[in-house]
Structure 1
Amino acid sequence: MSTSISIFDTTLRDGTQGEGISLSADDKLKIAKKLDDLGVHYIEGGIPGSNSKDIEFFKRVQELGLKAKIVAFGSTRRKDSIAAQDVNLQRILESGAQAATLVGKSWDFHVHTALQTTLEENLSMIYDSIAFLKQGGMEVIFDAEHFFDGYKNNPDYALAVLKKAEEAGADWLVMCDTNGGTMPHEVHEIVSTLHSQLTRSQLGIHTHNDCELAVANTLSAVQAGARQVQGTINGYGERCGNANLCSVIPNLQLKLGYDFLGDIKLKQLYNTARFVSEIANVNMPVNQPYIGNAAFAHKGGIHVSAIMRDSRTYEHIAPELVGNKQRVLVSELAGQSNVVSKAQELGISLDPSSEEARGVIGRIKELEHQGYQFEGADASLELLIREAGGEIKEMFSFESFKVLVEKAADRPVVSEAFLKLNVAGTSVYTAAEGNGPVNALDNALRKALSQYFPALQDMHLADYKVRVLDEKDATAAKVRVLIESKNFEDVWSNVGVSENVIEASWEALLDSFRYALLEVPAPKNEQTEPTHQGLVNH
């Protein structure tokens, strides 16, 4: 479809209104560069002059040479004032942004209640503000706040608002479902009606997700004539969030045929979503459509058997189109197809009728009965399969550890771990302190192995989760620990289970180091006497 669609990203402004999201100026600049690489057309950076971060952003973003238009956000002039004397409008002009988003009221209820002014004065505020910025040479995007609620309550006035903005020279008229309560059929009917009445400005859509309909409402608006789509990466935003561009973009391009990014840019969607997630320090839902880790994950044995023949049997698109990949999950529900597929993914030849294959399946079912879960611990699963195939050469063996935790009334808690390993035939004793017992064990293990395996210095723990499995047993309950580790090239997860949280943590921690050493050459046995590293006297 040749019709052009403009993608307007407001992650840096509307997205930061989401709970728990705060971005520094450096964060915003990094995300802006990533969004530009993806190919979005507009990047809304924030409110010029409202805070030091946004001031710095607008100053420094000009140095990046982005292809996307940088947009400054603001509201219409204050009631009973003059646009040319409005400080916020002046700051927008001085921001260096190529375009401006001006938000104005389109619901008569809001005009009376929030602005506490007349309907006529609100129209004047909209006209004066847009005209002022147009005289300053800016592209102006008018965001009609609460438009759909306003239209349903008083269609004549809501339409008058858009016509007044169009008369003032607005380039885009964006209809906002600010409260997120409009249904897709209502959006389509209203936008279709307006599309035939407003001809000088192009229409846009800005939806919120309070009814889990932001993406659906956006698609409905596009099909009815809207040509600018506003949203955020991963759907970040106030309350329940904004329209998720990570779903909107592939739906428009792959399902509805609007080719505006191209295949190469679309393949960057997966990495872009994760990049923004990392910068914002917000975990991505695994089941997020298109770019979630589970979006193309298969667990049922019948499903896996089918996708091994043809992935179209259980996948609506090829995951590579958005930069994602197919995953086969192995669990107690798995059949031989799952294990064989996973082995193939790892480059391991495993005969589905062999004792090794049956042994792996039996072991997985036994462990999951004990509380293990391998869907989120691919590294532990890989170790299990490689062990069954005799492909693991153990780099070290564990002998014992002791953990001491001391708390005095006048001092913080101190944790110490004492560890004994055998590396290349040599006994290695280490001791280390940490913020807690698990951190102390991590430090001791790292100290013991780093002299033999320097590559471990690049590895660090990225996440640590504890899940209680038997709540009824209270503090004696069995727990499952999931540890995520990273280095410069990879991310992997390991699992451990025990009634003792330290033992469960140790099990996951130990396997994370074993996994990190899979491709590392074995150390030479250069020592004949035990080493004693960092031991303290007690």
Structure 2
Amino acid sequence: MKRRKIEIMDTTLRDGEQTSGVSFSASEKLTLVKLLLEELKVDRIEVASARVSDGELSAVQQITDWADNVGFLDRIEVLTFVDNGVSLDWMKKAGAKVQNLLTKGSMNHLTHQLKKTPEQHFKEIGASLAAAEREGISSNVYLEDWSNGMKSSKEYVFQFLDFLATQPVKRILLPDTLGILTHNQTYDYISEIVGRYPNLHFDFHGHNDYDLSVSNVMEAVKAGCQGLHLTVNGMGERAGNAPMASVIAVINDFLPQVMVGVNETSLHKVSKVVSAFTGFGIPANKPIVGDNVFTQTAGIHADGDSKKNLYFNDLMPERFGRKRKYALGKTSGKANIQKNLQELGLTLNDEELKKVTARIIELGDKKEKVTKDDLPFIISDVLDSDTHHQKVFVKSYVLTHAKGLMPSTTLAIEINGESIEANAQGDGQYDAFMNALKKVYASKKIKLPTLVDYAVRIPPGSNSDALCETIITWDWDGKELISRGLDSDQTVSAIKATEKMLNII
């Protein structure tokens, strides 16, 4: 079966830029154009609206200069308006050769916004198209509010399409401007149009107001449309546009009768670049490009992955230039930890693995996510704990730090089964803890080692909720003694390191 080619037009730089608070610089636009065309390999890009600003004109000039040099000029498109040639003059200055002319696709818009009859509108559109042809500019035509037009003024839509069929138009662009279509309506409307005009090229432009854009795109393709308008990360006004990554994956996996030329392995990279340029984060659970979507958290899932990939689907991370991860936390099992150990090149025996698993679950109750980079610290902490038999327990403590008051600590400690309490102040919370501890040991006539070095580490690449490893060096009657503590709280990790020291002495 011969597969039908679907054109992908990216409108991140035009419609996506209508996301509230987003504005791309000229250099960012040029960088993204190169990335989208050369690496992601979309077919066309809508880069701007005509007449917006001098800065926008300069950006488009830079883009068209580059595109002309590499043979991509016919793939650069600009939104234009029916404005007696003003947009076309802007296009000529910008060096662009393809206009996407914005027209009215519903009687509601035509009557209440333009206050014109269909005949008046068509006459002005015809003049714009003829002028573009004379200037060597090719034309696509947007039918703004087309979806509402099909719902409430279908006769007008077909009257308009009858007219456009006689004009020098390369593509007719059908936008669900307000995101009001269901998948059934999308299929029915586009099927009807394609059936009536089999020789015209139709693009579908979906919005995501009801979170239906991907399903609507599927149905538009099934109904026979030849092009799709998408944005990276689903950027766009209100709830945004149909998202590039999800649509490409859906087409490749569920629509074998069609094909797209987009390079799947670059989807994640481009998504990250757009996120960095716009400052809009990618939701962790966003399909294909979110941080968590290839992460197994439950231990039973990691175990299943080791047994004939029981929890895999066709969305293999390698398709998108990514790797599967196995989260470490309170739902982790030994299988999750084994997967991470394999990546780090570490091995543990069954008893050690059991202890590390228990420690990760304990830490996971305090901290939602334990990372792979935390794992060496946890192993060191657990195995270090096994080198001595615990006789001293810091049972509880209260750390107080208030503005204008000295930090203070009240602690309860158990030594060889005897419970002792003490309270003290200090220059900081840990200093107050140590002063209270000295009181306890003074009462037992035991001298504590002297703290000579105190270092805190967090795993590379971690953020504010990282595990802290506190390494304390002690002088114990001329002998150097080192103890480590691990916790998501820096002071608590220091207290744990101190508790280890107390057991060693």
Determine if the TM-score, normalized by the shorter chain, exceeds 0.5. yes
Does the aligned pair in 2 maintain the 1:303–1:314 contact within 8 Å? no
Instruction: Measure how far apart 1:165 and its partner are.
Output: 2.5
Instruction: Measure how far apart 1:145 and its partner are.
Output: 0.8
Q: Which residue of 2 aligns with 1:89?
A: 88
Q: Which residue of 2 aligns with 1:247?
A: 246
Specify whether residues 305 and 95 from structure 1 end up closer, same or farther in structure 2 by C-alpha distance, changes over 3 A only.
Answer: same
Distance 1:358 1:91 in 2: 69
Instruction: Measure how far apart 1:171 and its partner are.
Output: 0.6
Distance 1:49 1:289 in 2: 36
Q: Which residue of 2 aligns with 1:363?
A: 359
Task: Give matches, 1:89-238, under 5 Å.
Answer: 89-238=88-237
2:345 maps to which of 340, 347, 350? 347
Structure 2: which amino acid aligns with 1:373? E
2:53 maps to which of 51, 54, 57? 51
Instruction: Measure how far apart 1:387 and its partner are.
Output: 5.3
Instruction: Measure how far apart 1:194 and its partner are.
Output: 0.5
Structure 2: which amino acid aligns with 1:261? G
Q: Which residue of 2 aligns with 1:524?
A: none
Does the aligned pair in 2 maintain the 1:185–1:220 contact within 8 Å? yes
1:373 maps to which of 363, 368, 375? 368
2:81 maps to which of 38, 59, 75? 75
Specify whether residues 287 and 114 from structure 1 end up closer, same or farther in structure 2 by C-alpha distance, changes over 3 A only.
Answer: same
Task: Number of aligned residue pairs: give it.
Answer: 411
Specify whether residues 445 and 364 from structure 1 end up closer, same or farther in structure 2 by C-alpha distance, changes over 3 A only.
Answer: closer
1:223-256 CA-to-partner distances (Å, cap 9, x unmatched) read 1111111010010000000010111112212331
Q: Which residue of 2 aligns with 1:39?
A: 41
Does the aligned pair in 1 maintain the 2:328–2:364 contact within 8 Å? no
Instruction: Measure how far apart 1:286 and its partner are.
Output: 1.2
Specify whether residues 317 and 162 from structure 1 end up closer, same or farther in structure 2 by C-alpha distance, changes over 3 A only.
Answer: same
Distance 1:329 1:366 in 2: 14
Structure 1, unaligned runs of 5 or more: 78-82, 391-402, 407-416, 421-425, 430-443, 447-455, 466-479, 484-494, 508-538
1:314-366 CA-to-partner distances (Å, cap 9, x unmatched) read 32332211222211112211111111112112222234xx1221112111221
Task: Provide the alpha-carbon RMSD of the alignment.
Answer: 3.3
Q: Which residue of 1 aligns with 2:336?
A: 338
1:140-197 CA-to-partner distances (Å, cap 9, x unmatched) read 1211111011111011101222232332221111110000011011000110010011
Does the aligned pair in 1 maintain the 2:64–2:94 contact within 8 Å? no
**Which deviates further from its counterpart, 288-297 or 38-47?**
288-297
Does the aligned pair in 1 maintain the 2:205–2:229 contact within 8 Å? yes
Higher Cα Rg: structure 1 or 2?
Answer: 2
Structure 2: which amino acid aligns with 1:76? V
Does the aligned pair in 2 maintain the 1:102–1:141 contact within 8 Å? yes
Distance 1:208 1:71 in 2: 19
Q: Which residue of 2 aligns with 1:7?
A: 8
Structure 1: which amino acid aligns with 2:307? R
Distance 1:9 1:327 in 2: 30
Does the aligned pair in 2 maintain the 1:374–1:380 contact within 8 Å? no
Structure 1: which amino acid aligns with 2:313? E
1:434-471 CA-to-partner distances (Å, cap 9, x unmatched) read xxxxxxxxxx999xxxxxxxxx9xx9x8x966xxxxxx
Q: Which residue of 2 aligns with 1:319?
A: 317
Does the aligned pair in 2 maintain the 1:184–1:216 contact within 8 Å? yes
Structure 2, unaligned runs of 5 or more: 385-400, 405-427, 432-450, 469-485, 495-505
Secondary structure of 1:237 counterpart: coil
1:293-325 CA-to-partner distances (Å, cap 9, x unmatched) read 222211122211111223363323322112222
Instruction: Measure how far apart 1:210 and its partner are.
Output: 0.1
- In percent, how many aligned pairs have the same letter? 26
Matched, 1:259 2:259: yes
Q: Which residue of 1 aligns with 2:271?
A: 273
Specify whether residues 362 and 464 from structure 1 end up closer, same or farther in structure 2 by C-alpha distance, changes over 3 A only.
Answer: closer
Does the aligned pair in 2 maintain the 1:372–1:496 contact within 8 Å? no
Distance 1:104 1:44 in 2: 16
Does the aligned pair in 2 maintain the 1:48–1:95 contact within 8 Å? no
Secondary structure of 2:204 counterpart: strand
Distance 2:247 2:164 in 1: 27
Specify whether residues 503 and 231 from structure 1 end up closer, same or farther in structure 2 by C-alpha distance, changes over 3 A only.
Answer: farther
Instruction: Measure how far apart 1:136 and its partner are.
Output: 2.0
Specify whether residues 22 and 273 from structure 1 end up closer, same or farther in structure 2 by C-alpha distance, changes over 3 A only.
Answer: same
Instruction: Measure how far apart 1:276 and its partner are.
Output: 1.5
Distance 1:358 1:312 in 2: 24
Does the aligned pair in 2 maintain the 1:48–1:73 contact within 8 Å? yes
**Which deviates further from its counterpart, 235-244 or 311-320?**
311-320
Distance 2:122 2:343 in 1: 62
Does the aligned pair in 2 maintain the 1:45–1:58 contact within 8 Å? yes
